[in-house]
Amino acid sequence: MTKKTRKEFFDYNEYRDRGMGYKWDTAFALGELQEGIKESTKESRRDLERLPQQEIEYIEYCLERSIKHNKILEVQLNSLDQLGRVKEPLWGNFRGFMDLDVLMIGDQYIDYTDIRHIKIHDFRKWSEAESETLPSPFEKNEYKNIEQEEQAKLEVVFNEYFSDDEWIE
């Protein structure tokens, strides 16, 4: 039968060990600290290109396509961050106007005049064979403005059809 003895730790060269409780607490905090340093380094190295200011007609066109076809927009704003750099672009669907000049993209409210550059992302499946034959809903030529004469003709036909006071039973 062996006799169990109490373990004793002696200081070596005047070094006092911290103990396991302190070591684990410090190691966890150092891991979080390193992650924070990596994130802040990534943020400080961020340098986005400032895209050109687009015309208001094209911005309205993209907003219309987004709300009608449920397409995702990428929006770059005119405003800069606190360090004078271009902000990250906003992503989301155009959900409508909240006020006369405030619109909602995704879950964020932005000022209509703050939009600098807008881009529609068309996420289609690569396997869709008919995507080559269908016209793209983003081609502006597909949605031509109707001439004034054609609009007048349509109004005449519309008025004749709905003002004849005849009911079909």
Tally Cβ neighbours within 10 Å of residue 117. 19
- Please state, in angstroms and rounded to a whole number, the distance separating the CA atoms of residues 91 and 75: 6
Low-confidence ranges of the chain (pLDDT < 70): 1, 9-12, 18-28, 124-149, 162, 164-169
The pLDDT score that the predictor gives to residue 155 is 78
CATH 2.30.30.100, applies to 49-124: yes
All structural domains of the chain with their residue ranges: 49-124
Q: With contact defined as beta carbons under 8 Å apart, do 73 and 105 qualify?
A: yes
The pLDDT score that the predictor gives to residue 142 is 45
The pLDDT score that the predictor gives to residue 13 is 74
The pLDDT score that the predictor gives to residue 143 is 44
Determine if residue 19 is left, alpha or beta; phi over 0 gives left, psi from -120 to 50 gives alpha, anything else beta: left
State pTM to two decimals: 0.52
Tally Cβ neighbours within 10 Å of residue 24. 10
The pLDDT score that the predictor gives to residue 77 is 92
Q: 58-75 pLDDT, tens per residue? A: 998 999 888 888 889 999
Quick one: DSSP state of residue 148?
H
Strand extents, DSSP E, 70-126: 72-77, 90-92, 94-97, 102-105, 108-111, 115-121
